[in-house]
Amino acid sequence: MPLSRSLSMTSLSGVLPAWEEDDLPVEDLLLFEVAWEVTNKVGGIYTVIQTKAKITVDEWGENYCMIGPYFEHNFKTQVEACEPPNPAVRKAMDALIHNGCQVHFGRWLIEGSPFVILFDIGSAAWNLDRWKGDLWETCQIGLPYNDREANDSLILGSLVAWFFKELIDQLGDKPNVISTVFTTHATLLGRYLCAGNADFYNNLGKFDNDKEAGERHIYHRYCLERAAVHCAHVFTTVSQITAVEASHMLHRKPDVVTPNGLNVKKFSAMHEFQNLHSTSKACIKEFIRGHFYGHLDFNLEKTLFFFIAGRYEFTNKGADIFLESLSRLNYLLRLHKNDMTVVVFFIMPAKTNNFNVESLKGQAVRKQLWDTAHTVKEKFGNRLYDALLKGQIPDMNSILDRDDFTIMKRAIYATQRHTLPPVTTHNMIDDATDPILSNVRRIGLFNSRNDRVKIIFHPEFLSSTSPLLPMDYDDFVRGCNLGVFPSYYEPWGYTPGECTVMGIPSVTTNLSGFGCFMEEHVSDPAAYGVYIVDRRFRSADESCNQLTQFMFSFCQQSLRQRIIQRNRTERLSDLLDWRYLGRFYVHARHLALNRAFPDKFKMDPTAPLKTEGFRYPRPYSVPPSPSASIHSTPHHSDEEDDDDDDYEPYDEDEEAERDRLNIKSPFVLGDVPEGK
């Protein structure tokens, strides 16, 4: 959309097809990005928009603006109201305001501080029937009155179109001056089919899309999505596997694949990330002490913390095979008499009444024990100090009096419980039919003393203000040892990416965009702490066995091996940086301008996008896997751990420099593969 900007090509010089400076109307360009999740967190698209804002503002400056829905609470807490610097934008907003629509402008208080225009949907709802009629006359798409989300989307889209019409009017007699890019982060029908346990990827070309959408009562939404895809100058999606899906579900092959990145600087902890891991892990251990009070018969120093997080889509997120694999992992750990304990967190929001009373009681008991221990310790310290001042070695049998023993015995009695530690931290509204709890009952993992795998279901997003687990999500991830995300339907998958940039190993699949991206650009992902489960060409049972083996091998690693692996994992963060992946969006915008205005913007639209990226080799040192040194017995001693550590050659600086050199290795975004 035209208005003033200067095009920055510094990071792409000699990489993308170059445009002559004289051909660019640099005084006449403006970029708008429209999304429902602008200042409005619903899912992963919010993370995409928020983290990408910085590099987009760096390129476009004040000529970049986001558009989304207005919600009063979000505006008050996330946006600083201000006046638009562009008079044409101000006049276009005033035109809508004078017609009864509420429009808000400001800076979103995130890194980059982009401008945002937010439309109040409720203030324009009076126009819904007319806009429905326009949609029917134009596209032959009808929206039911009871689909609130679809109706809200229509209102927002109509307001955006109205705003652009008023903005174009400010430009005089110029012809159509808009070029469009549509990015899909998933397909609606694909998500529904996978959630319904369809054999999706083996039957992509066999579905009757209209029939499937109609049976699921989403035909009108499917039509809206398909119309948007076919009306855009350029169609993009976030991964190769979603590109194949979109070509079948939406009948248009994406022009560019735009992988999702992260603002790596946000997670950057320099060489302190190992210390941050220890600090956050200590907080998780405190929660474990309270949750398992009375049954804390396992060594917390030999305990690993695994987790899965995301929207509560039981099948799509892979929680089904994860639970089955945990049952098999528990069997292996008990069979081999492994002294390692695994505590697994499920962080998935579900409908609850309130906190579980047993969970709250556990944290109260832990705090009481802590206070008691500190009281006795203070008395003990004072008496010991006095005795030493007098030049005496105190009698340890008399340094604690009867009252001290009474206090300690009372505290010990308080830790006794006659029930098992709860599986869930909250009271579930319908626990009888809850998928996770139903499968926990099936596999019999009830946090008993004999189990080496313990399960904690936290059906709420994490918060630092929680009375149970007072940690933000980022801090919690840093404190865990392994993130497990065996998704069946995951167009990209931000959760394993967030683990990677924080130096935490993770499990993903070859059906997720992230997993496919890592397979393409890392020679041996497992050596760098990214384990990829094959859910594309293996049966569910074989995938479970593979996931079980990944987790069992991880449990056999020594402490030093886990530290080395975290160092390698953290070095992959540059691969996910928007400073590199943002250029795919730049290419998509260039292509859209070329298609809309071929006389002004000249480039070869058929040329594949070449960009500088990574090709990480397999690490030179021995991989952090117990297979490098097979023990004669299933369990090896601490002395054997030391021998293994000495045997493993490893130079952190040398390997880091080797990986940095691989940044110079180019990779090419080729054509979207069809079929297998």
Of residues 635 and 368, which shows the higher confidence score?
Answer: 368
CATH code linked to domain 264-356+422-576+611-669: 3.40.50.2000
For residue 313, the model assigns a pLDDT of: 93
Q: Is the pLDDT of residue 622 over 50?
A: no
Q: Looking at residue 585, what is its pLDDT?
A: 92
- Residue 648 burial (10 A CB sphere; 0-12, 13-18, 19+): middle
- Rounded to two decimals, what is the model's pTM? 0.84
Q: Using CB atoms within 10 Å of the CB of residue 433, give its burial: 0 to 12 exposed, 13 to 18 middle, 19+ buried.
A: exposed
Segment holding 445, helix H or strand E? none
| 405-416 per-position pLDDT tens digit | 888 888 888 788
pLDDT of residue 666: 44
Give me the torsion for CA of 548, 549, 554, 557, rounded to 10°.
140
Task: Round the CA-based radius of gyration of the chain to a whole number and report it.
Answer: 29
Instruction: Break the chain into its structural domains and give their ranges.
Output: 1-178+577-607, 264-356+422-576+611-669, 358-414
| pLDDT digits 0-9 by tens, 138-155 | 999 999 999 999 999 999
Q: What is the pLDDT of residues 572-618, one digit of tens each?
A: 988 899 988 998 998 999 899 889 888 888 776 555 455 444 566 77
Fold classification of 1-178+577-607 is: Rossmann fold (3.40.50)
Cβ-contact 200, 193 below 8 angstroms: yes
Query: Positive or negative CA dihedral for 130, 135, 137, 142?
Result: negative
Q: Determine what percent of the chain is predicted with pLDDT higher than 90.
A: 65
More confident residue, 643 or 66: 66
Which residue, chain included where needed, has tokens 């070695």? 393
DSSP string across 180-243: -EEEESS-HHHHHHHHTT---TTSGGG--HHHHHHHTT-HHHHHHHHHHHHHSSEEEESSHHHH
- Residues 499-553: pLDDT tens digits? 999 999 999 999 999 999 999 888 889 999 999 999 999 999 999 999 999 999 9
Residues 6 or more apart whose CB falls under 8 angstroms from that of 638 comprise: none
pLDDT at 17: 43
pLDDT in tens, 75-95: 999 999 999 999 999 999 999
pLDDT in tens, 374-400: 888 888 888 888 888 888 887 777 777
Mean pLDDT value across residues 549-561: 96
Short-list 127, 123, 247, CA closest to 184: 247
* Residue 644 scores a pLDDT above 60: no
Q: Tokens 């558009």 correspond to what residue?
A: 67
Mean pLDDT on 310-314: 93
C-alpha angle 393-398-400 in degrees, rounded to nearest 5? 110
What would the two tokens of residue 540 be?
């569910």
Mean pLDDT (whole number) for 221-250: 96
pLDDT at 235: 97
Both tokens of 251, joined, read 């009948």
Residue 117 to residue 258: CA distance in whole angstroms: 24
pLDDT in tens, 10-65: 233 333 344 443 343 535 688 999 999 999 988 889 999 999 999 999 888 899 99
pLDDT for the residue 631: 40
